[in-house]
Structure 1
Amino acid sequence: MSEYCDPGLSPVQMAQPLPERKFRIRTVLIPVLFLGLHYLVINIAALLYMLAYIAITAAGGSSEILQSLQDPAYLESIMIEQYPQITVIYSAALIPVYLIYLILSGKRDQRSLLHEPVRLTAILPALAMMIGALGVTNIWFNVLYGLQDSIPFIENQMQDYMETAGAFSAESGYFWLILGVSIMAPVGEELVFRGIIQGELRKALPEWAAIIIQAVVFALFHMQFIQITYVLLPGLLLGLAYAWSRSIWVPIAMHVLFNFLGSALPAMIGTDETLGNILFFSEIAFILVGILAGLYFWMKNRNQNRQNLPGEV
């Protein structure tokens, strides 16, 4: 079989012939296994944390603990209120596993993990794209708010989302909110969705197909209709930035920024309507900047690929 050169790799890497793209069982198996692991560890961490929380806070002994465990509403309230701490726990467990797998896999196949040094010409447009995506998200939420009065399904989904969004409050403290939601969760998710899943898909499929599939999987994994609708665009941008920058650090930085501006900062602003409006409209105004930054990023990547493509022998 012939070999090919992947334009998503650096000039040094492209000098080394790579195996031909080929769909294998592992193309599906590896992403499914790691998605299952991600979901399992999240639930185990949540369960253990809730058990410990109830045991510590229960004043009435074992009888009160048992009663609390039988109250779904109480358990859900703990899950929401303590979500940042739970996020820190499961991310701390998963991140080392993902890193070890990616490092070992990268030794066998250099396409498994792209980790070139981060350049300003990549990170700045990538961050601008992500702020623009937040602006699009703001507009989309306004559309959904307008539709919920006439479409019961959207109304129910919005209510469900708002209850879930209670997890992004400052009640647990700014430290846990920023560490869990804005830093550790993005790192873990980028390693599994862009690093592992997109990394496996790009060995078997064209880059554009790998980017689309991982973005859809990323959105569906959130398992809440409203979240699915607005997470798809960031998922696509994260996948594009990973492929264009050839560095996992770029989508990690983008994801950290998105979660901070979209979740942590609004929680810190709280009920201050003036600051909330400034943040809201600033992100919307950044849509055009994000589009221009994306075009620059794309053209820079295209020109780089043309320079890197080896001549025919």
Structure 2
Amino acid sequence: MKLNYVKNLNDGSLCIKPITFWKALLLSFIYDIAYSFVYTPTSLFINFYRDVIFINSWSENLLNSITDFIYQYGVILIIIVLINKSFKTNGEILHQEKISKKKYLAGVGLIVGYIFITYGVFDFFLYSMPTLNDGLYEYIEEYLLNTAYIFIFISTCIMAPIFEEILYRGVLLNGLLKKYNYKKAIIYSSIIFGIAHMNLPQGINAFFLGVIIGLAYYYTRSIYLCMAIHFVNNFLVNFVVYPESKLWTIILFIIIPIIGMFIFVKSFRTIKNNKGINNE
């Protein structure tokens, strides 16, 4: 297997062996632990010697982003080896159909529809729930205050979609689909994806997001499409606003979810219509 294992996963030449729900959950924990084990010492070193080896915080953020990318890429490679017991590919390209622009637009539609559907009552209900992890929020607040916007964008809108989709759809869901029927596999992978977010509101939202992206992966077998959908979600949620007027609030809370359902259904039909992929 070449170091460019993402391409091998996407075209099916790297075949992930069947895995159970519990093994997938364990692998998710191993990923977090292994990543923390290699990244934390580096981060502490950079922070401790920042005044010696860096001129400004920009250089520090850049190095943190580079090491973050390398470590996540490497840890996922370890997860693949733990599942398959080797680096080898089968050499056979199973997924030859290229994803059309229409499919990518449908992927955008899925997420726009989902954001519209959850706009209002669901969002307020979700984020009124206890977080159960105040320390995580404190860490995020500190990170946002001390990091340039460009690096926040890189972290949340580029690296998170890339590596979360490689792991949770390209590897874990891939293996679960070989063990269970597609409905169970998608639900199981979405539960694991939700647990990985480590707090209740984000975990519930991540579960539903995992179901949507999981369905897109099942019908297209494209990790790249999943990354694109995840990117759009992480980018657009920054622009969700609520009106101050009570009247407009009521109107929008009714109209926007209805529009969202229409967009979602139409987009899902486009994604589902992928005759070149064998989903059985």
TM-score bracket for the superposition, by shorter chain length: 0.5 to 0.7
- Aligned AA for 2:35? I
Matched, 1:255 2:233: no
**Contact 2:216–2:271 under 8 Å retained in 1:** no
What amino acid maps onto 2:229 in structure 1?
Answer: M
Deviation, structure 1 residue 176: 1.0
RMSD: 4.2
Instruction: Note closer, same or farther for the CA distance 1:89–1:180 as it changes in structure 2 (3 Å cut).
Output: farther
Shift of 1:122: 1.4
- Does 2:273 match 1:295? no
TM-score computed with the length of structure 1 as normaliser = 0.62
Out of 29, 38, 45, the position equivalent to 2:31 is 38
Structure 1: how far apart are the matches of 2:207 and 2:194?
Answer: 5
SS at match of 1:169: helix
The structure whose Rg is larger is 1
Distance change >3 Å, CA 52–CA 221, structure 1 → 2: same
Give, in angstroms, the shift of residue 197 of structure 1. 0.6
- Contact kept, 8 Å, 1:27 with 1:204, in 2: the verdict is yes
Kept after mapping to 1: 8 A contact 2:61/2:151: no
Q: Supply the AA of the counterpart residue of 2:265.
A: L
Whole-Å separation in 2 of the counterparts to 1:309 and 1:199? 11
Maintained 8 Å contact 1:126/1:293: no
Does residue 77 of structure 2 align to residue 107 of structure 1?
no
C-alpha distance in structure 2 between counterparts of 1:36 and 1:83, whole Å: 26
- The aligned runs of 1:234-249 (5 Å cut-off) are 234-249=209-224
Does the 8 A contact of 1:212 with 1:236 survive in 2?
A: yes
CA contact (8 A) 1:190 1:248 kept: yes
Distance 1:296 1:99, change over 3 A: farther
Bigger fraction of residues in helix: 1
Q: 1:52 and 2:73 equivalent?
A: no
Q: Deviations over 1:99-149 (max 9, x none)?
A: 6949956627867xx67422122111211211233345553332246x5xx
The alignment-based identity, stated in percent, is 19
Seen in structure 2, the aligned counterparts of structure 1 residues 249 and 166 have a Cα distance that, compared at 3 Å, is same
Unaligned runs of 5+ in 1: 1-12, 14-22, 60-81, 148-153, 267-274
The alpha-carbon deviation at position 184 of structure 1 amounts to 0.8
Displacement after TM superposition at 1:230 (Å):
1.6
- CA positional deviation for 1:277: 4.6
Residue in structure 1 matching 2:198, options 200, 223, 243: 223
Quick check: 1:201–1:210 contact (8 Å CA) kept in 2? Answer: yes
- Output the TM-score relative to the length of structure 2: 0.68
- Residues 1-313 of structure 1 mapped to structure 2, 5 A cutoff: 26-28=19-21, 31-32=24-25, 34-56=27-49, 89-96=67-74, 98=76, 101=80, 107=90, 116-139=97-120, 140-144=122-126, 154-155=129-130, 157=132, 162-166=137-141, 169=144, 171-262=146-237, 265=238, 276-277=241-242, 287-300=257-270, 304-305=274-275
